[in-house]
Structure 1
């Protein structure tokens, strides 16, 4: 009986979805989606931001730590949508937006007007798998929220993200500061060393240069 019920439900869904499949077969459904989806997302993100505001503030709270040598933060938002994340970015942030749907542009313009603390650079209509318009090593931060679930090739997008991010200063820093490695995750080695007791804390040291603020301190017992 249960199997029959499931079969009937699947058949009903297929019948109801048939117009969408037909439009997709004719090559029209993608065009329709690109037209109405920005309007839907504009409404959805208002509700989503209300419920996720504390999590987003926590997520973006350390963005200033990634400022480049110029003292400015170049941020690329991949799959920017309507600009729902803009209000969580720090003041003076230089924002470049990438989205394959050109119909988001008017919503982005509105979001930028509502967030004058940001410096809007440009809107690039492109898929994340091919962001050739973004120079290699030109971004301090890449933000990607609610995007990877819908892309065609996650691995290719992540390779593009790695390409556009600025390289760290490890090579030069290593030479100037007697072999010091800025990005070494020393706490992981300590955790794997099998001490009978390990107590560590992570903190941001009150130093003037962002690059050396991340510290760990604590103790280990044999």
Structure 2
């Protein structure tokens, strides 16, 4: 009997281990991948912020002008906050909600959050997705995102949620990379690189027609500037713009 148990003990144990791993594969994948994604994107934060800095400053000058016209402090929502490099652009005394589905970004964003709290009324971190924003309708004066619409599962639903949570007359600001023109070498390169980006950069699509989605949304007064970021050739062109509710 003892020999019989010894013969079958190891394969049975291995089989049970495989079954357990298979049952928990979703949890393991989400945990390990989310940690890796937060680490990798944090490493790129400085370069990305520098690349798009002039466009961020221009957009947040529009936010400041909006604040002055309203003559009050603003309630702001950032989608896909990542390591929170954009907090330094937010006008003083604002109340800002930071929305991101990846909880492992919080440690990378900690320094930026601590610094921002010195001059902002409040900084609230919320875990969630842009397709289901956990806020009431007509809540925010400003919603903004940078390099986020390339990763959301449902762009239409995301923009619908942006429209819902904005106050009437509120503004949506965005900086995104978009698909190159069809039948060009750059579009071919984007198609080739898209699976790589999907895996490495948290489901990022480099040939998404983001501008078309924005123009087809319920938002109005849409103004978009197209430019070349020259960060990676396959994620150009990029757009920066505003829209209102």
Deviations 1:42-92 (Å, cap 9, x if unpaired)?
A: 221112222322221112111023339670111100111110111111212
Structure 1: runs of 5+ lacking an equivalent? 1-22, 170-183, 186-222
Alignment match, 1:124:
126
Higher CA-based Rg: 1
Alignment match, 2:52:
52
TM-score by length of 1: 0.59
Deviations 1:25-58 (Å, cap 9, x if unpaired)?
A: 9434333221122222222111222232222111
CA distance in 2, matches of 1:47, 1:26: 33
Matched-pair contact (CA < 8 Å) for 2:113–2:123: no
Alignment match, 1:89:
90
Alignment match, 1:41:
41
What's the Cα RMSD here? 2.6
Matched-pair contact (CA < 8 Å) for 2:101–2:127: yes
Q: 1:59 to 1:168 in 2, by over 3 A?
A: closer
- Once the two structures are overlaid, the 10-residue window that deviates more, 66-75 or 87-96, is 66-75
Deviations 1:6-29 (Å, cap 9, x if unpaired)?
A: xxxxxxxxxxxxxxxxx9x94343
CA distance in 2, matches of 1:35, 1:47: 20
CA distance in 2, matches of 1:58, 1:168: 20
Number of residue pairs aligned between Structure 1 and Structure 2:
148
TM-score by length of 2: 0.54
Alignment match, 1:106:
107
Matched-pair contact (CA < 8 Å) for 1:66–1:140: no
Alignment match, 1:167:
168
Alignment match, 2:65:
65
CA distance in 2, matches of 1:33, 1:158: 26
Instruction: Please state how far the C-alpha of 1:117 moved relative to its aligned partner.
Output: 2.4
Q: 1:136 to 1:53 in 2, by over 3 A?
A: same
CA distance in 1, matches of 2:109, 2:165: 22
| Larger strand proportion of the pair | 2
Alignment match, 1:156:
157
- Partner of 1:90: helix, strand, or coil? coil
CA distance in 2, matches of 1:123, 1:70: 26
Alignment match, 1:9:
none
Structure 2: runs of 5+ lacking an equivalent? 1-21, 171-219, 222-245
- Partner of 1:140: helix, strand, or coil? strand
- Partner of 2:143: helix, strand, or coil? strand
Pair 1:137-2:143 in alignment: no
